Amino acid sequence: MIDIKLIREQKDLVKENIKKKYQDEKLPLVDEVYDLDIKYRECKTNLDNLRNEKNKLSASIGSLMRDKKIDEANKVKDEVGKINLEIPKLEEEEEKLEKEIKTRMMVIPNIIDASVPIGKDDSENVEIEKYGEPVVPSYEIPYHADIINTLDGMDKEAAGRTSGEGFYFLKGDIARLHSALLSYARDFMIDKGFTYYVPPFMIRSDVVTGVMSFKEMEAMMYKIEGEDLYLIGTSEHSMMGRYIGQMLKEEDLPLTMTSYSPCFRKEGGSHGLEERGLYRVHQFEKQEMVVLCKMEDGMDWYNKMWSYTVEFFRSLDVPVRTLECCSGDLADLKVKSCDVEAWSPRQKKYFEVGSCSILGDAQTRRLGIRYKSSEGNKYLCSLNNTVVATPRGLIALIENNYQEDGSILIPKVLQPYMGGKEKIEKK
């Protein structure tokens, strides 16, 4: 949610930003908020004036009574009575206007950074840089589900019986490799100075609406029937919710956190679910990084965070590239975002394995997260980034380490988490 001062003082900037995001249907909201805000401030001023008048009149009643000016005191009491009838009406009007403004403000997109390329959708995202040489071996790389099944590492049929489409059982060495990847990601981020968390896997609605747009919420979140609880789509949601309504200390900043969680997503829409494979599923696990810092430090942290994901995958000998998200591909709360994509030797192209985003004060303003500074109370800048999400990270690992004999080489950094095992072979 943007600062309403931008609409009061720079309406054209807000409208131009909406156009850059190809959301012209939202343009009328800016003028609506502008007009409602004028009414709201007028109402608030009138209400404040009435309250002040009431306080003055009420204070004078005692003096009049002491001076035996009963008639005058009664007249003042009548005036106070009339004011008491007016105040609730204005309070109701103030609350109504405030609600109408917030409803519109919640769907006006955040101001994107000047460096964001302008484009309508993800087809216009821009490659930034490649890391590592993408290799296509002389032998065929099977589909990842077939590789895993050959190694007796997955059972989607049984998962269909227990849970339906979009779920899976992992087993044996593949399940162990999956866990090794997450454990290594945890330790990798701890070594970067981040504090490790395991957060709640369910959050309340006020946290959900604080961390994402309504459109994202409807497309992603699973609601717990009969309770004000949602299953998290990523641990970023819980980690941001941890500080809802909090006033933080300047000396404690930045807060650098890395959190593990299972993630639950509807995955509706045109892309659908993968019937046989693990690329798009309802449940997966992720190691995330979340940072809360001063606004002026945000871009420095943004560049550090995506570089950590690149470094992580390169330590696994997986070639990756970074892709700048264009304006039309940015979610409404994001200021700037880039994807980290891993090389697929089977498909001979890159696919997304992580995303890094800076959101300015969009989330912290919604959630009321501030810090005390010498210049007054300020909202923090929030950032989030994927270290690794499985099974996508697992797919990249398997494809890039698949051998002609059907085995999978285990990268050296993962071997300690696999009991020293160097290779997964057919049994």
pLDDT at 268: 58
C-alpha span between 169 and 152 (Å, rounded): 11
248: which residues sit within 8 A by CB, 6+ positions away? Answer: 255, 292, 369, 370, 371, 372, 380
Enter the DSSP assignment of 417.
Answer: G
pLDDT at 217: 81
Indicate if 92 and 154 belong to the same structural domain: no
Q: Is residue 115 part of a domain?
A: no
Q: Is residue 48 part of a domain?
A: yes
Q: One digit per residue, pLDDT tens: the chain, 427 residues?
A: 899 999 999 999 999 999 999 999 999 999 999 999 999 999 999 999 999 989 888 888 878 888 888 888 888 888 888 999 999 999 999 999 999 999 999 999 999 999 999 999 999 999 999 999 999 999 999 999 999 999 999 999 999 999 999 999 999 999 999 999 999 999 999 999 999 999 999 999 999 999 987 777 888 899 999 999 999 999 999 999 999 999 999 999 999 999 999 999 987 554 556 678 898 899 999 999 999 999 999 999 999 999 999 999 999 999 999 999 999 999 999 999 999 999 999 999 999 999 999 999 999 999 999 999 988 999 999 999 999 999 999 999 999 999 999 999 999 999 999 999 999 998 7
Indicate if 204 and 155 belong to the same structural domain: yes
Indicate if 52 and 149 belong to the same structural domain: no
Q: Is residue 234 part of a domain?
A: yes
pLDDT at 61: 82
In CATH, what number is assigned to the domain containing residue 275?
3.30.930.10
Q: Is residue 380 part of a domain?
A: yes
Q: Which two tokens stand for residue 21?
A: 């995001």
Range of the domain at 9: 4-105
Structural contact between residues 367 and 238, judged by C-beta atoms closer than 8 angstroms:
no
Q: Which two tokens stand for residue 107?
A: 């769907």
Of 55, 74, 105, the last residue of a domain is 105
Indicate if 98 and 169 belong to the same structural domain: no
Of 105, 132, 151, the last residue of a domain is 105
Indicate if 27 and 171 belong to the same structural domain: no
3-state SS assignment for residue 210: helix
Indicate if 292 and 409 belong to the same structural domain: yes
Q: Is residue 297 part of a domain?
A: yes
Structural contact between residues 340 and 309, judged by C-beta atoms closer than 8 angstroms:
yes
Indicate if 73 and 170 belong to the same structural domain: no
Indicate if 84 and 138 belong to the same structural domain: no
In CATH, what number is assigned to the domain containing residue 47?
1.10.287.40
Indicate if 404 and 340 belong to the same structural domain: yes
Q: Is residue 111 part of a domain?
A: no
Q: Is residue 113 part of a domain?
A: no
Indicate if 235 and 326 belong to the same structural domain: yes
Indicate if 88 and 167 belong to the same structural domain: no
C-alpha span between 82 and 174 (Å, rounded): 76
Q: Is residue 173 part of a domain?
A: yes
C-alpha span between 173 and 155 (Å, rounded): 13
Q: Which amino acid is at 298?
A: G
pLDDT at 270: 44
pLDDT at 273: 61
Of 74, 105, 136, the last residue of a domain is 105
Q: What is the pTM for the complete model shown? A: 0.90
Indicate if 87 and 126 belong to the same structural domain: no
Torsion angle in degrees (nearest 10) through CA of 385, 387, 391, 393: 120
The number of domains in the chain is: 2
3-state SS assignment for residue 284: strand
